């Protein structure tokens, strides 16, 4: 009862925050601009800063991320809840497009945003939340207070402030292993350095980002990486699997982990390596029997991440497709120059085998509006990988290549291959490398993806359209489909200190 009461109180507080967003300014432009997000882990602004955004141009729709709140969904209701959450993502996508199409009118008549965009979206979200509560209530205790998460707001993109100034040299020193659900190993915030080129528009080829302030010269970033020092009992080995670079060009805008059974559940395109049977409808059996482009056929795991595109004016085959150009993901898709998939050990203990069909998501596709609590991708350049960025894209020197790094969660609850919000069954080790709360160490997947792109701004990862292609929204997905014999070899290599391929 105490836990339920605390949750209702939290939801009520968020409802108050959302209401405040609609009351400030008496219906003017400020009326739809206040917090970065009402969602869990959001980077909300304190009251004294709420009015500082007054008069700024609104850049996107900001909605609480409902999935973060639904941590106790009964197994029997999860499929229906996931479908409703995917439908809600579609509602936000449609509302963002309406906002983008009518931006000029919203600027002339700020109340128009409420009438034409925000209130209809709230009504749709309320109906979906009712269906979620009913689905859960049929097999368990229905959640209370979800209606507080229905309202959305508009927000300004304050990443660069459009001032063309260099905001400083906070080079991001908080590296570490993360706090359990998201910090990971990327440099914290990557240095709010700006480029001196910011403008007031979220530009990019698709009109919704990125902008110049999303890039930073890697040579101006201070080294910021650190690793826990291995201790007695550490598992120092590694296992590398070769699954290619997606040379065959397998793409889709599904996400079978987050939105199983829903086409275009991601609203952006993914690169796939490993299992070739992966789409929204892939069952565990389909994955187990699917073809793999991994060199060792004992690894039928699926590894996927948002594609990276050049903003070069070139149209891709998906220019008029869902998840592609129809949703602001435009430009020439880049095949990575190199993909490294490596599993490593724990700095303090031996590791245990991953369960087959374990699902792991690292990073947060909605981190721009959610805040960076679950952000976990790192950006850098070859020759400068001791300088990692979280919320900026790197500008690499001539001859240096762009590097994306994902260090996945390395602790497992010992029971579940997935969880209601697709996060709580796995966790990051603490800053000393230890698993907490009874979790056990498993092989940690480290992905390193290298791109040979022209120096300077002009590229971006695919994203939900309202996330404006911000680098902080980068994320990776993994489903373990190693056969047991090969997984045992992975564990043996890591625990014995060997380097295996």
pLDDT one-digit tens code per residue, 287-299: 999 999 999 999 9
How far apart (Å, rounded) are the C-alpha atoms in residues 302 and 359? 10
- The residues pairing with 344 across neighbouring beta strands, listed in sequence order, are 238, 444
Q: What is the pLDDT of residues 392-404, one digit of tens each?
A: 999 999 999 999 9
Q: How confident is the model at residue 68 (pLDDT cuts 50, 70, 90)?
A: confident
Chain Cα centroid distance, residue 345? 24
- The pLDDT-based confidence of 149 (bands split at 50, 70, 90) is very high
Which of 18-32, 40-54, 411-425 is the most confident on average? Answer: 411-425
Q: Is the pLDDT of residue 262 over 70?
A: yes
**Mean pLDDT rounded to a whole number for the chain:** 83
pLDDT digits (tens, 9 = 90+) for 297-311: 999 999 999 999 998
Q: Does the pLDDT of residue 274 top 80, yes or no?
A: yes
Give me the pLDDT at residue 290, please. 96
Q: Number of C-alpha atoms within 13 angstroms, CB side, residue 427?
A: 19
Q: How far apart are CA 384 and CA 406, in angstroms?
A: 16
Mean pLDDT in residue range 341-356: 98
Query: For 20-42, what is the mean pLDDT?
Result: 30
Q: What does the alpha-carbon distance between residue 274 and residue 297 come to, in Å, rounded to a whole number?
A: 9
21 with 32: CB under 8 angstroms?
yes
Looking at residue 11, its pLDDT comes to 40
Going by the DSSP 8-state scheme, the letter that residue 297 receives in this structure is T
418: nearest Cα among 81, 125, 176: 81
pLDDT tens-digit profile of 310-336? 988 888 999 999 999 999 999 999 999
Once rounded to an integer, what is the mean pLDDT over residues 68-97?
94
Give 494's contacts (C-beta < 8 A, 6+ positions apart). 235, 236, 237, 238, 239, 343, 344, 345, 351, 443
> Which residues, at least 6 apart from 165, have a Cβ–Cβ distance to it below 8 Å?
194, 196, 198
Token pair of 387, please?
């300088």
- Mean pLDDT over 138-148 rounds to 93
SS3 category, 25: helix
Q: State mean pLDDT over 256-282.
A: 97
Averaged pLDDT for residues 464-474: 96
Is it the case that residue 18 has pLDDT exceeding 80? no
Confidence check: pLDDT of 139 > 70 = yes
In this predicted structure, what is the pLDDT of residue 429? 97
For 248, other C-beta atoms within 10 Å of its C-beta total 12
Q: What is the rounded distance in angstroms from the CA atom of residue 351 to the CA atom of residue 441?
A: 5
**Following CA atoms 182, 385, 381, 498 in sequence, which dihedral angle do they give, to the nearest 10 degrees?**
-90
pLDDT on residue 158:
61
Of 23-32, 109-118, 130-139, 242-251, minimum mean pLDDT range: 23-32
Q: What pLDDT, on the 0 to 100 scale, is given for residue 6?
A: 39
| Of the listed ranges 62-76, 432-446, 475-489, the one predicted with least confidence | 62-76
Residue 100 pLDDT: 92
Cα 261 to Cα 55: distance, rounded to the nearest angstrom: 42
Instruction: Yes or no: say if 375 and 367 are a contact pair by the CB < 8 Å rule.
Output: yes
Residue 479 per-residue DSSP state: E
Is the pLDDT at 488 greater than 50? The verdict is yes
Q: Which pLDDT value is given to residue 222?
A: 96
48-84 burial, b for 16+ CB within 10 Å, e for fewer?
Answer: eebeebeebbbbbbbbbbbbbbbebbeeebbebbbbb
- Beta carbons of 301 and 480 less than 8 angstroms apart: yes
* DSSP-based three-state secondary structure for 302: strand
Q: Above pLDDT 70, what percent of the chain?
A: 79
Tell me what percent of the residues of the chain surpass a pLDDT of 90.
71
Residue boundaries of the structural domains of the chain: 2-156, 188-500
Tabulate helix, strand, coil % of the chain (nearest 5).
Answer: 30, 20, 55
DSSP E strands in 338-401: the ranges are 338-344, 359-363, 377-381, 393-395
Read off the pLDDT of each residue in 8-19 and give the average, rounded to a whole number.
38
**pTM beyond 0.85:** no
């Amino acid at each position: 009862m105490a836990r339920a009461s605390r949750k209702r109180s939290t939801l009520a507080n968020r409802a108050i925050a959302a209401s405040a967003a609609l009351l400030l300014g008496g219906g003017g432009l400020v009326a739809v601009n206040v917090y970065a997000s009402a969602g869990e882990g959001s980077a909300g602004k304190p009251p004294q800063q709420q009015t500082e955004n007054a008069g700024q141009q609104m850049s996107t729709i900001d909605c609480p991320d409902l999935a973060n709140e639904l941590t106790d969904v009964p197994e029997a209701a999860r499929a229906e809840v996931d479908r409703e959450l995917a439908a809600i993502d579609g509602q936000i996508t449609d509302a963002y497009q309406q906002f983008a199409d009518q931006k000029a009118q919203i600027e002339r008549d700020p109340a128009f945003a409420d009438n034409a965009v925000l209130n209809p979206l709230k009504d749709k979200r309320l109906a979906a939340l009712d269906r979620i509560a009913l689905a859960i209530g049929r097999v368990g205790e229905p959640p209370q207070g979800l209606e507080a998460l229905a309202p959305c707001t508009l927000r300004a993109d304050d990443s660069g402030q459009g001032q063309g100034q260099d905001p400083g040299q906070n080079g991001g020193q908080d590296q570490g292993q993360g706090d359990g659900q998201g910090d990971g190993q990327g440099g914290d915030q990557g240095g709010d350095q700006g480029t001196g080129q910011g403008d007031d528009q979220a530009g990019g080829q698709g009109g919704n980002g990125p902008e110049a302030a999303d890039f930073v010269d890697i040579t101006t970033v201070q080294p910021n990486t650190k690793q826990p020092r291995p201790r007695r009992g550490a598992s120092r080995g590694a296992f590398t699997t070769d699954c290619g670079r997606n040379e065959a060009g397998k793409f889709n805008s599904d996400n079978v982990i987050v939105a199983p059974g829903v086409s275009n559940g991601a609203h952006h395109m993914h690169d796939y390596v490993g299992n070739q049977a992966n789409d929204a409808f892939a069952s565990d059996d389909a994955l187990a029997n699917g073809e793999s482009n991994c060199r060792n056929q004992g690894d039928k795991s699926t590894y996927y991440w948002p594609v990276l595109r050049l903003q070069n004016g070139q149209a891709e085959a998906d220019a008029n497709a869902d998840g592609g150009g129809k949703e602001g993901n435009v430009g020439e898709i880049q095949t990575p120059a190199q993909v490294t998939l490596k599993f490593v050990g724990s700095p303090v203990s031996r590791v245990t085998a991953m369960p087959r069909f374990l699902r792991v998501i690292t990073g947060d596709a909605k981190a721009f509006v959610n805040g960076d609590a679950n952000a976990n991708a790192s950006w850098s350049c070859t020759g400068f990988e001791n300088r990692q960025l979280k919320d900026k894209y790197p500008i690499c020197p001539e001859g240096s290549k762009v590097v994306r790094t994902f260090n996945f969660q390395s602790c497992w609850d010992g029971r579940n291959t997935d969880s209601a919000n697709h996060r709580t069954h796995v966790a990051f080790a603490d800053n000393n490398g230890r698993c907490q709360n009874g979790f056990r160490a498993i092989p940690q997947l480290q992905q390193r993806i290298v791109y040979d792109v022209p120096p300077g701004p002009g590229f971006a990862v695919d994203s939900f359209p309202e996330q404006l292609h911000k680098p902080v929204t980068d994320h990776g997905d993994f489903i373990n489909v190693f056969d047991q014999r090969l997984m045992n070899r992975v564990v043996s290599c890591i625990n014995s200190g060997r380097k295996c391929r």
